Structure formats: structure tokens, C-alpha cells
Chains A and B, each alone.
Chain A
Amino acid sequence: MSVLVDKNTRLAVAGITGREGSFHTLNNKRYGTNVVGGVTPGKGGQDVEGIPVFNSWAEAAESAQPNTAMIFVPPRFAADSILEAAAAGVELVIAITEGIPAHDELRVYNTLKRDYPGTRLIGPNCPGILSPGKANVGIIPASFFKEGNVGVVSRSGTLTYQIGNEIAQAGFGCSSIVGIGGDPVPGSSFVDVIELFEADEQTELIVLSGEIGGSAEEEAADYIAKDVSKPVVAYIAGFTAPAGKQMGHAGAIVSGSAGTAAAKAQALEARGVRVGRTPTEVAEIAVTQLR
């Protein structure tokens, strides 16, 4: 098994006719992902190397029955595209788009929760999801990962490649790699994805790769202590990042002393999660636990 994307994935892509959108869609298709369509308003009836393009998510849903949506449209159109896919009944929406306004993300998150609870959003501003050997939805370079039993969830793209590659070089593979993105209001949190890994038979160890800001890592720490039986190894980036460059006092109140890399590492370690000091050390700890 794996989580979220696999051989049953039926993918449709908003922004398939754009340069980036078509490049990565075709890449995903070559990997073996079942791509059933694309959505670009005004370009319905065309195709991208045989993949049919529809004018709207409603049309795509009716004609091609996608169960997964990938969003590649520019930031100013992304929020509406996500909600349109949800309204069309798509269960999983993976938003790659970077630079969506925070207020749009807030509106999307709360609208999904209220009106479309059956739709799960991953991202935005994320590299997507790869289940090695099964399906790739997004921009994760599949060649650095092997199939295996490590579940990876991360706020950062390249850092994930770094850690995943070191695990692969040590001879281990991954069940799924899930990028949840680094934006202020992500559709899914560490907790949401760890819950899936905990339930996934193939996954034997979970790697969490976090960074400064917000409190998602601290919330994950509480959840892990309470509800997770599988070993978790964590990495936190940003120990030397300048503090509070953009945040005013009000923001600092919300996170209290939390939000710094040190506070996050401490919260995780206090609940029995081993935290590697470098990406290499994370891979080493993971490999030791797997052997």
C-alpha cells in the first residue's frame, strides 16, 4: 500500500496547457500515473499529447471521472480552481501553485471544511505526492526514491529530496512522499498525513521534515505521543534563520515561545521523537531503526 496516490489514481490537471503544467503532467504520465484529463477554460476539446482538455472541472468530472486534481494554474486563479474541483466532487486536490494570497488560502480551507468535507487538499505551494512504483502527482523527481517502507511528510521540496535520496542510498525506500507545502494555511497538516501513514500497512517508519514558523510541528508532536505507534524521525530547518523579520507582536503572542526551530525540536524530543541535527543524521537514524 501507500497513501493518497497509487494505481487507482485518476488524475486531471488544471493548467495542463501551460508550459510547467504540461511538462510535469507528461512527466507524471510517463511515470505510470493514470492521467485522464486536463482543465483549461476556453480550451475544451483540445488535447495535450492525447490527454483530453475540458473547459471546467464539472465537464472533466462528468467525462473523465478523475478522483485526483492537480492545480498548476497561476496564483490569482488557483483558489477558484481548487474550489471548483471540490464542487465537482474530486476527493483529492493537490495544489502545486506557489504565491497564492494568504486570505485566499484561508477562504479555501474554511470553504472546504464547511461545504466540501469529502475533499482533501494537499498544498498549496507543495511539490506533490509520490508513491514510488505506483504513481507520481506533482514535481518530485522520482528517480531519487525507491519503493519501500518509509513514509515521508515534509513542508519543503528540495529538503525532502535530500533526505529521501540519503535513505535510498542506504538501501531503503519509501511508501509515499507527501509534500504539504510551506504556506501559512496549508490544506493538510503533518497530523493529517501522519494519521494516514499510521494506518498504512506498508509504512513502518515515518520521517517528518519541518521548518520554522507556525505550530504544525508542535501539534504533530502531541498527536504522535498520543496516537502513533510507528517510529517517527524528525528534522527541523531554520535554527539560524533570522527571527521575527516580518511578524509583529501580535503574531508572537499566538505562537508564544513556539515557532522557533529550537522549540519545535524540543517539543518533538519531549514526546519521544528522535530529531536529526542534519538531513544526513535524519537518514542515519531512520536507517538504524529500520535495520
Chain B
Amino acid sequence: MDLLEYQGKQLFARHGLPVSDGKAVTTVEDAVAAANEVGYPVVVKAQVLIGGRGKAGGVKLAADEAEAREHATNILGMDIHGHTVRTLWIEHASDIATEYYASVLLDRSAKQPLVMFSIEGGVDIEEVAENTPEKLIRHHVDALDGLSREEAVQIATDGKADADVIEGVADALVALYEVWLDEDATLAEINPLIVTPEREVKALDSKVSLDDNALYRHPENQELADKENEDPIERRAKEQGVQYVKLDGDIGILGNGAGLVMSTLDVVAQAGGQPANFLDAGGGSDAAKIKQAVELILANDAVKAVLFNIFGGITRCDEVAKGLIAAFDEIKPTVPFVVRLDGTNDVAGRQLLQEAALPNVHAARTMNEAAEKVVALAGGQR
């Protein structure tokens, strides 16, 4: 789960990492009140889970109430790369002497936490990594020992932080590591980590991803999801415990097992089609769950045809067939379905479908045949 900037900053503050005072608001009036409260100049910042806010005009400086009102009015409701701005973060503008970069993440390859630090902050850090890799310090931490203060000082020193803020940077790194560890984050990033003219080190932005699997031990973080900007079908799927990701195409996909569903998307794309979604019905789905999944797929108006690709292991093909029949009974879909059933109880499943003779449901024996059929039914190659 990715957090909005202000939510990440709340976690930072909880662990003693300095951030500016500010307020999250959802209306122009509240934005103006917040600006008056934190004191001018203020920064009005769009809260969206996508990069490039600044360039898109989603971050503005306001010197007085009139400007705060103007910026809040313009930014609220703005579309930033497909994300609608519904929340603003109003914070007191910071004076900036220097911009650094800091992050802690789970390095899957080394199977250790990785701390990164650079004095080239405020820019696209990938460019720093690409063009001047010597300016990006990468330090693996022993997962069992954690990050010591001595290590943090060493990282700041190796990264050539200004001598008078080595301690401040080390404090920030230790606090950031604590955020990463204690909040079960997979990523905790600050860009920029600023040094003020008064030589205070402080997080001006935040990017935090929390591990969904660990939310059970962080009840206070469970409400942080950006519900308003979530796709409504994805949200419904989450509530039903189904893995669903909306895509841009017009062919609805249902399969069992993440790998097989990913593979199904690929095979459909190779046949010239465009998948409308990823949907993993999971292992051992019964008829009721399959019916729900069909409802989810058809809730997307773009869907012109649906492909069921099931290789039954724990999942039984006869249950899948029953679920599809129940779904047709209730929802009466108007789009064609292609169904490929293989694996556990496949003969029984195929027979159930044949006997039900559902309108516009086509059987396919192999994955490739199924993909070709569904692409043709959705209107052919594009």
C-alpha cells in the first residue's frame, strides 16, 4: 500500500524525523484556514500517488491568503496523470540551503535492507544513479542487527554531506530506518531531505510503501489507503478478497493463480487483444466466488468479451462451471465468454457447461486456442 505524502510524513513525525507543520484538507475554505494557521508563506501541495506533481502544477507557493485561495481552488480537482486531486497538504514553506536524498528499502536480490543516501537530492534520483553512481551511497544493513548510529554517520560521511550536518543526517537515517522497520514498510524514501539555512535537517517530501501482509499488526495504519482515488472495482475486489487489477483493454480475464493469469494476459496480447483486467480467483474457489468474480469483470463497461482460463489444481473445474452458470442465471451477460477448463474435474466441468448451453459461451481446449477465440469475439486484432 502506497501512502500519500502527508501520511508518510505523519509516520516520519511519529518516529522523530523532522517535518514541517502542516494540515491535510479537502476544501478551499479549509485550505485557507490551514494556511492562516501554519503561517505564510505556505506551500499548497496536491496529494496524489504519482510522480511529476510539481511539473503538472500541483505544488504552489503562496505568500498570502489570496494566493493560498487561488492555488487551492486551482489544484483541488485537478487531474494529474489520471489521478484526481482530492486532498491538499498545506505546510509552512521551508527555506532551503541544500537538498539531499535518503531511502531505506528491502533489497530483494541481496536479501538485506538497503540504505541509500546522496547529496544530489531534489532531482530524479534514477538519473543520479545512472549518470553519477559514485554520488549515490548504497549501504546494506544486517537485517538482524539493524542500522547502528555509527553506520549512519559513516553513510553521511561517505556521501560527503556537509560537515556540520553529518549528525543531523545520521539522525534522519536512523529515524528513517526505524520507520521502515517498525511500520513494516518495503520502501521509505525522502526526496528531498533538506538542510535549512539554520542547518536543520528535515524531510520535505515522503514516499512510503507499507506491506499489506503486515497490516494486521498495525491497526493504526489500516485506514491510510487512498480510498478516494482507488478504482471502485479494485476496491470492491479487495473487500471480496479477490486479486483484481484494472487494465486499459476490452477483454475480461479470469484465471486461477497469479502466474497463470499473468501468462494469460501475455497470450491474449500475443493474439492481438488487449486485456481489460487481471483477476486471480485464487486456489479452491467455489461457485459463489466465481459468480462474484464475473460480476467484478462485467462492472467494467469496456469489457467486450471474457476469457476464463482455468487449470484446476485445488480449484475444481466443476465448481468453476457451476459459478459461471449461476452468474449467467442472475446477471445475464450480453458479452461473449470463452472458457478453457483443464485439470481437476475438467471433464465434469465441461459437461456441465455443455448441458447448460449458455448463450454465447464458447469452449476452448487449449490456452492458445482460447486466446485466439476471445480476441476474435472482442472484435479482432487492433
How many A-B pairs have beta carbons closer than 8 Å: the answer is 183
> Which of A114, A215, A261 is B109 in contact with, Cβ under 8 Å?
A215
Scoring A140, A156, A252, A255 by chain B CB atoms within 10 A of each residue's CB, the highest score goes to A156
B94 at interface, CB cutoff 8 A:
no
Query: Would you call A110 and B111 a contact (CB within 8 A)?
Result: yes
B278 at interface, CB cutoff 8 A:
yes
- Residues in chain B near residue A158, CB distance under 8 A: 255-257, 259-260, 311, 313
Scoring B114, B269, B314 by chain A CB atoms within 10 A of each residue's CB, the highest score goes to B314
CB distance from B124 to the nearest CB of A (A): 7
A240 at interface, CB cutoff 8 A:
yes
Query: Would you call A165 and B214 a contact (CB within 8 A)?
Result: no
- Residues in chain A near residue B366, CB distance under 8 A: 280
Q: How far is the CA of A182 from the CA of B108 in the complex (A)?
A: 12
A139 at interface, CB cutoff 8 A:
yes
> Which of A238, A240, A280 is B367 in contact with, Cβ under 8 Å?
A280
- Residues in chain B near residue A248, CB distance under 8 A: 2, 103, 187, 189, 207, 209
Q: How far is the CA of A127 from the CA of B275 in the complex (A)?
A: 27
CB distance from B202 to the nearest CB of A (A): 19
| A residues with CB within 8 A of B | 75-76, 99-104, 106-107, 109-111, 114, 127, 139-141, 144, 154-162, 165, 182, 184-185, 209, 211-216, 219, 235, 237-242, 245-256, 261, 277-280
Chain A to chain B: the 3 pairs with minimum beta-carbon distance, closest first: A156-B259, A158-B257, A101-B214
CB distance from A39 to the nearest CB of B (A): 22
Q: How far is the CA of A209 from the CA of B260 in the complex (A)?
A: 11
Closest-by-CB residue of B relative to A253 is B129
B157 at interface, CB cutoff 8 A:
no
A107 and B189 in contact, given A240-B275, A253-B125, A279-B263 (Cβ under 8 angstroms): no
Query: Would you call B213 and A100 a contact (CB within 8 A)?
Result: yes
Write the B98-142 contact mask toward A (1 if CB under 8 angstroms, else 0): 000001011111011110100000001110010000001000001
- Residues in chain A near residue B295, CB distance under 8 A: none
A250 and B343 in contact, given A219-B109, A242-B247, A278-B266 (Cβ under 8 angstroms): no
Query: Would you call A184 and B216 a contact (CB within 8 A)?
Result: no
Write the B178-193 contact mask toward A (1 if CB under 8 angstroms, else 0): 0001001011010100
Query: Would you call A253 and B116 a contact (CB within 8 A)?
Result: yes
Query: Would you call B260 and A162 a contact (CB within 8 A)?
Result: yes
| B residues with CB within 8 A of A | 2, 51, 103, 105-109, 111-114, 116, 124-126, 129, 136, 142-144, 181, 184, 186-187, 189, 191, 207, 209, 211, 213-214, 216-217, 245, 247, 255-260, 262-263, 265-270, 275, 278, 283, 311-314, 342-344, 366-368
Query: Would you call B214 and A102 a contact (CB within 8 A)?
Result: yes
Closest-by-CB residue of B relative to A99 is B213
A101 and B211 in contact, given A162-B263, A278-B270 (Cβ under 8 angstroms): yes
Query: Would you call B245 and A239 a contact (CB within 8 A)?
Result: no
Query: Would you call A103 and B181 a contact (CB within 8 A)?
Result: yes
Q: 9 pairs across A/B with beta carbons < 8 Å?
A: A76-B217, A103-B181, A109-B111, A141-B313, A157-B259, A159-B259, A237-B263, A248-B207, A278-B263
A184 and B186 in contact, given A106-B113, A253-B126 (Cβ under 8 angstroms): yes
Query: Would you call A162 and B108 a contact (CB within 8 A)?
Result: no
CB distance from A146 to the nearest CB of B (A): 15
- Residues in chain A near residue B313, CB distance under 8 A: 127, 139-141, 157-158, 161
CB distance from A37 to the nearest CB of B (A): 24
Closest-by-CB residue of A relative to B187 is A248
CB distance from B115 to the nearest CB of A (A): 10
Closest-by-CB residue of B relative to A24 is B314
- Residues in chain B near residue A157, CB distance under 8 A: 257, 259, 283, 313
- Residues in chain A near residue B245, CB distance under 8 A: 242, 245
CB distance from B279 to the nearest CB of A (A): 13
- Residues in chain B near residue A141, CB distance under 8 A: 312-314, 343-344
- Residues in chain A near residue B209, CB distance under 8 A: 246-248
Query: Would you call A101 and B126 a contact (CB within 8 A)?
Result: no
Closest-by-CB residue of A relative to B271 is A278
Q: How far is the CA of A156 from the CA of B263 in the complex (A)?
A: 10
Scoring A211, A215, A238 by chain B CB atoms within 10 A of each residue's CB, the highest score goes to A238
Query: Would you call A251 and B105 a contact (CB within 8 A)?
Result: yes
Query: Would you call A106 and B184 a contact (CB within 8 A)?
Result: no
Query: Would you call B187 and A250 a contact (CB within 8 A)?
Result: yes
A111 and B144 in contact, given A211-B259, A214-B109, A238-B262 (Cβ under 8 angstroms): yes
Q: How far is the CA of A53 from the CA of B216 in the complex (A)?
A: 29
Query: Would you call A250 and B125 a contact (CB within 8 A)?
Result: yes
Query: Would you call B105 and A254 a contact (CB within 8 A)?
Result: yes
A215 and B108 in contact, given A102-B214, A106-B143, A242-B245 (Cβ under 8 angstroms): yes
CB distance from B41 to the nearest CB of A (A): 28
- Extra inter-chain contacts (5) besides given A159-B260, A216-B108, CB under 8 Å: A110-B142, A144-B343, A156-B257, A161-B343, A182-B258
Q: How far is the CA of A255 from the CA of B106 in the complex (A)?
A: 12
CB distance from B61 to the nearest CB of A (A): 24
A240 and B107 in contact, given A156-B259, A158-B260, A253-B125 (Cβ under 8 angstroms): no
Query: Would you call A251 and B260 a contact (CB within 8 A)?
Result: no
Q: How far is the CA of A101 from the CA of B245 in the complex (A)?
A: 21
CB distance from B154 to the nearest CB of A (A): 20
Query: Would you call B108 and A184 a contact (CB within 8 A)?
Result: yes
Q: How far is the CA of A265 from the CA of B368 in the complex (A)?
A: 20
CB distance from A133 to the nearest CB of B (A): 19
- Residues in chain A near residue B265, CB distance under 8 A: 238-241
